[in-house]
Structure 1
Amino acid sequence: MLKKKFDPIAYKKMVKEYQERDDPLGWFDSIYADANGDHKEVFWADLAPNPYLLAWLETHPLEMENKKAIVIGCGVGDDAEALSAYGYDVTAFDIAPSAISLCKNRYTQTQVTYLVADLFNYPLEWNEAYDIVYECNTIQVLPGKYRK
C-alpha cells in the first residue's frame, strides 16, 4: 500500500486550526489517527531508524548492562526499537495516543515500554532516570513559545 499524498496546504491549515483552539499539539494525534492503524500511512514516518542514531549506536557500544533510554515523541517506534535492539531498556512516549497504539500494534513482541505522555508534563520520576534521552524531529515542529 502506498502512503497518502502529503498536502502541505491542508497540513498547514490543520496545524493552524489546532493552534487557534489553543491545542498546539493536538494535530499530532490527528495525523496518526488518520492512518487508521497503518503505520505506513503516516506521511513523515521513514519506517526505519534514524541513520545518525544507528551510526552512533554502532560506534558507542554498551559497556554495561541495564542502561536506560527514553525516546521523546517516538512516533511509530523505529528509533525506540533500534535502541532496544542495541541493549537499552527503553521507554518511549508520544503525546498522541494513536501513535502509541500504532507502536504497540506494529511491535507486538517488543521490549520497549510505550506510553502516552506530554513532554511538558511528564512524570517527575523520569528526571535523571535515563542514561540516554533521545529526541529527533519533535521539538522543532512545535510553535516557538513551546521551544523555550
Structure 2
Amino acid sequence: MKAARVLVGTAGVALMGVGGYLLADVRDPIGVLVWLGGAVLLHDLVVAPAVLLAGLVLVRRRARGPVRGALLVAGALTAVALPVLLRPGRTANPSVLPLDYPRNWLIALAAVAAGTALWAAGRQVVHGRRRPDRSDRPDRSDRPDRPGR
C-alpha cells in the first residue's frame, strides 16, 4: 500500500509540474487564477458539504466511504465540465469543441457510478454480508473472568 501511495503522490507532483509549466504560457494568468480560485471555493463551499450531508443522510454506514468518494469525483467532473455545460450550442469555430461534451460528461458520471457499485459489491463479498456491531456482541458482564462495566 505504501508503494502505491508513493507512486500516486509522485505522479500527482509530476502532473502539478506539467500544469505549472503550461500555466507559464497562458496569456491571461490572472483569469486562470481567478477560475482556479472559484473552483476551490465551489468545491469547499458547495460540493464537499453536499457530499458529506448526502453520505450521512442517504447511505448506510459501511457504504458511506465509497459513495462519498464517488460523489466527490462526480462533483469534480462537473466542476471541470461546467464551462462547456453552461455554454451549449455551436461555436464559431467547430474545431474548438469538437466532441459532445454533455454526453461524455454523463458517460463519465455513469462510469463513476458503475465503478462505485462494483467496489461496494466487492467489499460486501470480501467482508461478508454482515459484520457484527457492538450491539450484537455478548454481554461481558456474565463472563466470570471479566467483571461488568
* Greater relative contact order structure (CA < 8 Å, 6+ sep): 1
TM-score (norm 1): 0.24
Write 1 or 2 for the structure with the bigger share of strand.
Answer: 1
Q: Which has the larger radius of gyration?
A: 2
